[in-house]
Amino acid sequence: MGAVLPAIADLAKQSPPWNQGGRISGQASPNFGGDPIALLGRMTIAALAGALALALGGCGARADGEACRWERLDPSIYDVRVEPASFRQGAPDGTDLRLGLLPGYEATVSRPFNVMVREVLRSEWEAAFRQLDYVDPGCGADCPAVALSWAQSVALANAFSDRDGLERCYDLSPCEGEPSERFGFRCPSDLSFDLDCRGWRLPTSTEWELAARGGTTAWSICSDDLYNTCIFKYAHAGSSAFDGEQSFLAPAGTRCPNGFGLVDVFGNAEEWVWDSVDADTGSTCRSDGEIDPKGCDDGSAHIARGGSYRLATIRLLGSAGGTGYGPGWEATWPVHGVRFVRTVD
C-alpha cells in the first residue's frame, strides 16, 4: 500500500459546506474562442489595470537574480514538449505531510508529452459546452475556467481532442449526466485511459510535477525551503502576509513562467490531475521506482495540484503540494481548473 495522506482522507470523507529543457512544439493556438484581440476586448477594467501594472512593473526577479519581465502570452505558442525523466517527486524526506504535501517517491515518466503553456480558459470551456455555472465577476474570458469538476475536465479533454482532430482518450459512456452540468455529471471511479493515446488528456500527477518543476530539482520552483516567499513571483495566490490581498482570479499569465515557459502552474486555478487516492484510508497507491504511475485504480478522491488564487498556504503552492477532493467537494469550490497534456513521439 502506498503512503497515507491523513489530510486528503479527512477532506475526502467530509460533506460539502523562457524555455530551458522544454521545446516549443510549433503548434499554433487553436481557434477555440481564444482570439487574443477578442479576449483583450472582453477583459474587465480591473483585469486590464492589473495586466498593465504588471507590464509596467514586471513580476519580480527569478531565483537566480535575473529580472523576470512580464510579457503577454504569445498566442502562437500553445504547448511545449517535456522529455521523459526519472526524478524524486513529492516532498523531501522527513517532511510533515499534513497541510497538503504529497509524499516523496522515485518515479519515471517514460513518454515525451506536450503540455499546455497556460490553463484552459473560460472562453475555451464556453466554446466547447456553454457558460460556466460559476463565473468570477471580476475576470473575463481570458481568465482560467474554474469551478470545473474532475469529470467535467475529462469530458473537456475529449472536446479538445475533437477540436484538433485527435483521438479521444476517454470512453465516457459509463458516465451519467451532461458535461455542462457541474453537479450533475458523474463518472465511475474506475474510469481508465491508455498513456499511448495521442489526444488531449489530464496529466498524471507525476507528469504534472515534472512539468511544474520546469527543469529544477527543488520541491518548489525557487527553493527547497517550504516557506520561501519567492514562490509568489510565479504564483498568483492569496497571501495578505506576503503578497497583498490576491484572493481574486487573474487573467492567464500575470506571473513569471517557469523554466519550461508554463504560466500559472502555481496559483490562479488549482489544476486537476488524473490520479486519485483512497478516500477511506488516504492511500496514494504508490511505491518507489514506479514507471508512469497513475495513482489508485479505483480511488474516489481526485487530486488537484498547484494551489489556487484563494490559497495562502505556501506549502501547497510548491511542486509537492496537492489536495484530494471527494465527490462531495470537487464541484463545490470555485477554484478548480485544468491544463491538458498529450503524449507525443
Per DSSP, the residues of 324-344 read EE-TTTTTTSTTEE---EEE-
Report which DSSP code applies to 92.
P
How does DSSP assign 66-87, residue by residue?
Answer: -B-------TT--EEEE--EEE
Pairing relation of β-strands 341-343 and 322-325?
Answer: unpaired
Please name which of 97, 3, 119 lies closest in space to residue 321, comparing C-alpha atoms. Answer: 97
Number of domains in the chain: 1
131-137: Cβ within 8 A, 24+ apart: 132/182, 133/181, 133/182, 133/183, 134/182, 134/334, 136/248, 136/249, 136/334
Q: What is the C-alpha to C-alpha distance for residues 58 and 60, in angstroms, rounded to an integer?
A: 6
Pairing relation of β-strands 79-82 and 23-24?
Answer: antiparallel
Q: What is the C-alpha to C-alpha distance for residues 215 and 255, in angstroms, rounded to an integer?
A: 18
Pairing relation of β-strands 85-89 and 113-116?
Answer: unpaired
Q: What is the C-alpha to C-alpha distance for residues 45 and 109, in angstroms, rounded to an integer?
A: 42
- Sort 115 into a burial class: Cβ within 10 Å, 0-12 / 13-18 / 19+: buried
Report which DSSP code applies to 12.
H
Query: How do the pLDDT tens digits run along the chain, 345 residues long?
Result: 333 332 322 222 222 222 222 323 333 333 333 333 232 232 222 233 233 333 333 343 333 334 454 455 566 789 999 999 999 888 777 776 665 678 788 999 999 999 999 999 999 999 998 777 677 777 888 999 998 999 999 999 999 999 999 999 999 999 999 998 888 899 988 899 999 999 999 999 999 999 999 988 777 667 666 566 677 788 888 753 344 445 788 899 888 898 899 999 998 999 999 998 887 777 788 888 899 999 888 777 899 999 888 875 666 777 877 878 876 666 667 889 999 999 999
Strand partners, 83: none
Phi, psi of 176 (to 5 degrees): -120, 145
Strand partners, 23: 81
Residue 232 confidence (pLDDT): 78
Q: Which residue has 507590464 as its cell numbers?
A: 55
Record the pTM.
0.79
Please name which of 110, 112, 92 lies closest in space to residue 102, comparing C-alpha atoms. Answer: 92
Output helix, strand, coil percentages for the chain, rounded to the nearest 5.
20, 15, 65
> For residues 66-79, b (16+ Cβ closer than 10 Å) or e, as one string?
eebebeebeeebbb
Looking at residue 219, which CATH number applies to its domain? 3.90.1580.10
The answer to whether 202 and 153 have CB atoms below 8 angstroms apart is yes
Sheet with 290-291: strands ordered across: 85-89, 105-109, 290-291
Domain that holds residue 119: 1-345
Q: What is the C-alpha to C-alpha distance for residues 87 and 13, in angstroms, rounded to an integer?
A: 31
Q: What value, to the nearest 5°, has the Cα angle with vertex 213 and ends 117 and 168? A: 45
